[in-house]
């Protein structure tokens, strides 16, 4: 274990020192140990207020850093500092990179292939859920790591799309590593750790405070080559992520939406403003650096990934029963249908409908949503 690791963690724990100030202090003093050892006058000349200086000179702060290391080890997490070779290179390039990253999983492995962020509204439509899941699934199957924020809605759907094909994904959270938000994503978070990594810059115990999520968003865009916005309302945090991506020199992509939908405002506005319209995974890969584009558009999905994927027949190759064909014809990929509506529209008996729905789910033609609603899979 690095002897100075507690110094890095402790500096990151000081209230009132954000990533921008922390980086300025490191530029001025070199390493965290020198920041803690600096005199009051030297720290004041660096622009720090008396209460922050008092925290830096608190003899217990380094003990807190050491205790944080022990707590991280207990939950199977590690810390990567800005001085480490393992620190993600793309993230290091941004204006105010986190000085430490708390990590669970294999971040280096996940970032060994090109990454794209897929983000969008928490209050999304069925169309948005399907689009995020479909595009994340297709990109992951062709060797792209999907980065998102583990939030409800579009983020969760993107992560799940990756997991469906055994791809790599990274969840960047706005809480401490020991705080699951939203709570219903605990299992999803655990699955992401197995297939990639969960990352945070916040100390353990940090609750889901609103002011932390814009910081989280800059890490999402900072880790990848570009950001794909699926659905976002006019004042959505996803538009902040898109703006940060622009500032960081990343590509911005958007999935067009219904002009009468509030959640389509963001992506449609971005497309008018120059973001690339995305309908297919190739639309994203075409904007990659030339050597990556040539490799990924040369034919088949990456060999290392496709070897691990089960052989899946195309929709056309899977025979459907008469009742299954009837249900598929009634379903849309944009708007969900409740089971009672299908019962009425199909003319099938309840056992016949249940059997047809089960068969279609097993053939991966439809997806069940909460509340016994169903949509056609893209």
Q: Where are the alpha helices (DSSP H) in 165-289?
A: 186-195, 213-222, 237-247, 265-272, 281-285
Count of structural domains within the chain: 3
Q: How far apart are CA 212 and CA 180, in angstroms?
A: 14
Q: Which of the four pLDDT bands, split at 50, 70 and 90, describes residue 301?
A: very low
Q: Which of the four pLDDT bands, split at 50, 70 and 90, describes residue 143?
A: very high
Q: Is the predicted pLDDT of residue 46 greater than 60, yes or no?
A: yes
Q: Which of the four pLDDT bands, split at 50, 70 and 90, describes residue 306?
A: very low
Are 237 and 358 in the same domain?
A: no
With beta carbons less than 8 A apart as the criterion, state whether 152 and 159 touch. Answer: no
Put residue 166 in one of left, alpha, beta given phi > 0 → left and psi -120 to 50 → alpha. Answer: left
Q: Which of 299, 349, 304, 295 shows the shortest CA–CA distance to 326?
A: 349
Q: Is the predicted pLDDT of residue 110 greater than 90, yes or no?
A: yes
Last residue of a domain, one of 74, 91, 125: 74
Q: How far apart are CA 373 and CA 367, in angstroms?
A: 8
With beta carbons less than 8 A apart as the criterion, state whether 221 and 245 touch. Answer: yes
Are 290 and 319 in the same domain?
A: no
Residue 301 DSSP one-character state: S
Are 33 and 111 in the same domain?
A: no
Residue range 66-72: mean pLDDT, rounded = 95
Are 344 and 362 in the same domain?
A: yes
Q: Is the predicted pLDDT of residue 251 greater than 50, yes or no?
A: yes
- Specify the pairing of strand 115-119 against strand 145-148: parallel
Q: Is the predicted pLDDT of residue 137 greater than 70, yes or no?
A: yes
Q: How far apart are CA 151 and CA 139, in angstroms?
A: 20
Q: Is the predicted pLDDT of residue 304 greater than 50, yes or no?
A: no
Q: Is the predicted pLDDT of residue 333 greater than 90, yes or no?
A: no
Tell me, what's the pLDDT at 136? Answer: 96
Are 297 and 320 in the same domain?
A: no
Tell me, what's the pLDDT at 17? Answer: 95
Q: Is the predicted pLDDT of residue 11 greater than 80, yes or no?
A: yes
Q: How far apart are CA 164 and CA 140, in angstroms?
A: 10
For residue 279, count CB atoms less than 10 angstroms from its CB and return exposed for 0-12, middle for 13-18, buried for 19 or more.
Answer: exposed
SS3 of 101-137: the string is EEEEECHHHHCCCCEEEEECCCCCCHHHHHHHHHHHH
Are 158 and 57 in the same domain?
A: no
Tell me, what's the pLDDT at 318? Answer: 65
Q: Is the predicted pLDDT of residue 311 greater than 70, yes or no?
A: no
Q: Is the predicted pLDDT of residue 51 greater than 70, yes or no?
A: yes
Residue range 347-365: mean pLDDT, rounded = 85
Q: Which of the four pLDDT bands, split at 50, 70 and 90, describes residue 370?
A: confident
Are 231 and 298 in the same domain?
A: yes
- The edge-to-edge listing of strands for the beta sheet with 337-338 is 337-338, 373-376, 366-369
Q: Which tokens hold the place of 293?
A: 């584009």
Beta bridge partners of 376: 366
Q: Is the predicted pLDDT of residue 371 greater than 90, yes or no?
A: no
Percent of the chain with pLDDT over 70: 94
Are 300 and 322 in the same domain?
A: no
Q: Is the predicted pLDDT of residue 360 greater than 50, yes or no?
A: yes
Beta strands of 230-345 (E only): which ranges?
251-254, 276-277, 337-338
- The parent domain of residue 300 ranges over 107-306
For residue 16, count CB atoms less than 10 angstroms from its CB and return exposed for 0-12, middle for 13-18, buried for 19 or more.
Answer: exposed
Residue range 265-272: mean pLDDT, rounded = 93
**Cα dihedral 21/24/29/30 (nearest 10):** 110
Residue of higher predicted confidence among 299 and 81? 81
Q: What is the mean pLDDT of the chain?
A: 90
Tell me, what's the pLDDT at 244? Answer: 92
Q: How far apart are CA 145 and CA 107, in angstroms?
A: 11
Residue 233 lies in a domain: yes
Instruction: Give the Cβ contact number of residue 340 at 10 Å.
Output: 11
Q: How far apart are CA 71 and CA 127, in angstroms?
A: 41
Q: Most confidently modeled of 41-55, 284-298, 326-340, 344-358?
A: 41-55
Tell me, what's the pLDDT at 2? Answer: 65
Residue 367 lies in a domain: yes
Contacts of 39 (CB under 8 A, 6+ apart): none
Q: Is the predicted pLDDT of residue 310 greater than 80, yes or no?
A: no
Q: Is the predicted pLDDT of residue 307 greater than 60, yes or no?
A: no
Residue tagged 């090109």 (tokens): 114
pLDDT in tens, 195-204: 999 999 999 9
CATH assignment of the domain containing 179 = 3.40.50.450
Are 59 and 141 in the same domain?
A: no
Are 65 and 4 in the same domain?
A: yes
Residue 239 lies in a domain: yes
pLDDT in tens, 147-196: 999 999 999 999 999 999 999 999 999 999 999 999 999 999 999 999 99
Q: Which tokens hold the place of 142?
A: 């062709």
Q: CA-CA distances (angstroms) from residue 346 to 56, 320, 341, 356, 360?
A: 69, 15, 8, 11, 15
CATH assignment of the domain containing 30 = 1.10.150
Q: CA-CA distances (angstroms) from residue 159 to 153, 163, 166, 281, 365?
A: 10, 6, 11, 15, 20
Residue range 12-26: mean pLDDT, rounded = 95
Are 38 and 179 in the same domain?
A: no
Residue 102 lies in a domain: no
Q: How far apart are CA 300 and CA 244, in angstroms?
A: 33
With beta carbons less than 8 A apart as the criterion, state whether 153 and 266 touch. Answer: no
Residue range 115-142: mean pLDDT, rounded = 93
Tell me, what's the pLDDT at 31? Answer: 95
Tell me, what's the pLDDT at 108? Answer: 97
Are 180 and 218 in the same domain?
A: yes
Q: Which of the four pLDDT bands, split at 50, 70 and 90, describes residue 308?
A: very low
Q: Which tokens hold the place of 319?
A: 């025979």
Concatenating the DSSP letter of every residue in 53-65 gives HHHHT-TTHHHHH
């Amino acid at each position: 274990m690095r002897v100075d690791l507690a110094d890095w963690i402790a500096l990151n724990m000081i209230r009132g020192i954000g990533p921008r100030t922390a980086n300025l202090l490191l530029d001025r003093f070199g390493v965290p140990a020198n920041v803690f050892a600096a005199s009051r006058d030297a720290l004041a000349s660096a622009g720090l207020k008396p209460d922050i200086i008092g925290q830096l000179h608190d003899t217990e702060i380094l003990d807190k850093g050491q205790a944080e290391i022990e707590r991280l080890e207990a939950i199977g997490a590690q810390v990567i500092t800005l001085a480490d070779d393992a620190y993600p290179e793309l993230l290091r390039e941004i204006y105010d990179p986190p000085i430490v990253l708390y990590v669970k999983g294999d971040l280096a492995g996940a970032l060994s292939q090109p990454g794209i962020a897929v983000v969008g509204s928490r209050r999304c439509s069925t169309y948005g859920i399907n689009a995020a899941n479909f595009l994340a699934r297709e990109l992951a199957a062709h060797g792209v790591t999907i980065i998102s924020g583990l939030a409800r809605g579009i983020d969760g759907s993107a992560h799940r799309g990756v997991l469906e094909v055994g791809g790599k994904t990274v969840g960047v959270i706005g809480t401490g590593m020991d705080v699951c938000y939203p709570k219903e994503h605990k299992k999803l978070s655990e699955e992401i750790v197995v297939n990639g990594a969960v990352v945070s810059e916040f100390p353990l115990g940090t609750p889901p405070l609103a002011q932390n999520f814009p910081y989280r968003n800059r890490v999402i865009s900072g880790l990848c080559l570009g950001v794909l916005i699926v659905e976002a309302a006019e004042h959505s945090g996803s538009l902040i992520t898109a703006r940060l991506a622009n500032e960081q020199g990343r590509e911005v992509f958007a999935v067009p939406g219904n002009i009468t939908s509030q959640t389509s405002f963001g992506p449609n506005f971005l497309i008018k403003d120059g973001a690339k319209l995305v309908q297919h995974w190739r639309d994203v890969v075409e904007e990659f650096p030339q050597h990556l584009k040539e490799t990924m558009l040369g034919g088949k999905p990456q060999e290392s990934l496709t070897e691990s994927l089960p052989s899946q027949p195309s929709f056309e190759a899977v025979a459907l029963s008469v009742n299954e064909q009837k249900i598929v014809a009634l379903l849309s990929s944009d708007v969900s249908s409740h089971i009672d509506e299908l019962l009425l529209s199909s003319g099938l008996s309840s056992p016949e409908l249940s059997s047809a729905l089960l068969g279609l789910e097993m053939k991966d033609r439809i997806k069940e949503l909460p509340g016994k609603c169903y949509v056609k899979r893209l």
